[in-house]
Homo-oligomer: A and B are copies of this chain.
Amino acid sequence: MKTLSFDGQRPCILQTASSVGKKEGEGNLTPFYDNIFQDAYLGEKSWEKAESKLLKTNLKTLLEKANESPENIDIVFGGDLLNQCISSNYGLLDFHIPFLGLYGACSTFVEGMILAAMAVHGNYAQKAIALTSSHFCSSERQFRFPLEYGGQRTPTSQWTVTGSGAALIAKGGEIEITHATIGRIIDYGISDINNMGAAMAPAAIETIRRHFQDRNLPNDYFDLVVTGDLGSVGKQITQQQLKNYGLDLEDRYIDCGDKIFDKEKQDAHAGGSGCGCCASVFSGWLYYLLRTGKCRRILLTATGALMSPTSSFQGESIPGIAHCISIERKTDNQ
């Protein structure tokens, strides 16, 4: 399939909310978060319950900022990294909003935005929300080692962001979702779970190239081409490979995982990752740039690594996927 075009009355991002943990709050994007939680447990008894509360609080913040009640929301498209997506399932319990659960690893936020945009543009919903979360401690326990083990991290490893992002999508706003490219699963045979950036980069490269080709865009069309969480390693591969293909994005290309932490002061190795990385960076900082006109056009690309601990133990490589959406200010397109 080609890149989707949301013609006519376009789906818009009416409001966003971004909530993060202490470390993220001390990173590069401090002023742009709605909530910064100092306690990794958020007052709960387990990290999984903490992540659920993070997602729930973030959704509540979104509804407050948008002055909406849950009854007015037609669908939530959401997911997270935990097994069986329990962060979303328990986090959404009290809202009674129709829910379609997603799993796209770290690509889930953009997957949710694409589906929310389709639902709104096609008049299946008036108001839809895309929502994801991740939590460093619950992810480490599930995907790597229990934190108490104190495992050594490799330089290419990434730091799962404790964060949640949420976007309210409906018609009649200023920040429009104009196009979307749905990704394919791509596997270049990388099996090092401490080098997810390299595993996901090929998928990002393919999806970004398809988006530019399908729309026949010049290299400088977007103010920012953003990947979700390739980190510094995956970012470098992506930048170079796109350039090799004739798509030199120069300094217009950034990566949320590379951006979220302060490299000088914070020890996050190759950068941030997780469902909450791209979600909190977009819902905080990037949406601010769009809203204030500092950016007119952003291509938001979220990448997911589609392995599990079981598949890694069984010697499988890490397939990647990437979806992207083009987000543009209406006034600048008229």
Partner of A100, one of B45, B49, B104, B124: B104
| Cross-chain contact B99 with A102 (CB below 8 angstroms) | no
Chain A 174-211 per-residue mask, 1 if CB under 8 angstroms from chain B, else 0: 00000000111101000000000000000000000000
- Chain B residues positioned under 8 Å from A49 (CB to CB): 314
A118 to B116, CA, bound (A): 11
Contact of A309 with B by CB under 8 A? yes
| Cross-chain contact A93 with B187 (CB below 8 angstroms) | yes
- Chain B residues positioned under 8 Å from A82 (CB to CB): 308, 310
- Chain B residues positioned under 8 Å from A86 (CB to CB): 306-308, 310-311, 316
Contact of A30 with B by CB under 8 A? no
- Chain B residues positioned under 8 Å from A74 (CB to CB): 1
| Cross-chain contact B99 with A184 (CB below 8 angstroms) | yes
Chain A 249-264 per-residue mask, 1 if CB under 8 angstroms from chain B, else 0: 0000000000000000
> Smallest CB–CB gap between A243 and chain B, Å?
24
Partner of A111, one of B89, B97, B101: B101
- Chain B residues positioned under 8 Å from A38 (CB to CB): none
Contact of A122 with B by CB under 8 A? yes
- Chain B residues positioned under 8 Å from A105 (CB to CB): 84
Partner of A319, one of B75, B90, B125, B311: B90
> Smallest CB–CB gap between A114 and chain B, Å?
8
Partner of A48, one of B304, B310, B323: B310
The answer to whether A100 and B85 touch (CB under 8 A), given A1-B75, A90-B316, is: no
- Chain B residues positioned under 8 Å from A311 (CB to CB): 48, 84, 86, 90
The answer to whether A84 and B307 touch (CB under 8 A), given A97-B184, A182-B98, A184-B97, is: yes
| Cross-chain contact B84 with A182 (CB below 8 angstroms) | no
Contact of A96 with B by CB under 8 A? yes
> Smallest CB–CB gap between A318 and chain B, Å?
10
The answer to whether A122 and B125 touch (CB under 8 A), given A1-B74, A83-B308, A311-B86, is: no
Contact of A42 with B by CB under 8 A? no
> Smallest CB–CB gap between A89 and chain B, Å?
4
A68 to B98, CA, bound (A): 34
Contact of A266 with B by CB under 8 A? no
Contact of A235 with B by CB under 8 A? no
| Cross-chain contact B103 with A79 (CB below 8 angstroms) | yes
Partner of A122, one of B98, B121, B310, B323: B121
- Chain B residues positioned under 8 Å from A182 (CB to CB): 75, 98-100
Interface residues in A101-152 by Cβ distance below 8 A to B read 101-105, 111, 114-115, 118-119, 121-122, 124-125, 142
| Cross-chain contact A115 with B90 (CB below 8 angstroms) | no
14 contacting pairs across A/B (C-beta < 8 A):
A1-B74, A1-B98, A46-B314, A48-B310, A83-B309, A86-B307, A86-B311, A89-B306, A90-B306, A96-B185, A99-B321, A101-B321, A118-B122, A121-B122
Besides A1-B74, A92-B185, 13 other A-B contacts (C-beta < 8 A): A1-B75, A1-B98, A1-B125, A48-B311, A83-B83, A83-B310, A84-B105, A84-B306, A85-B306, A86-B310, A93-B319, A103-B103, A121-B122
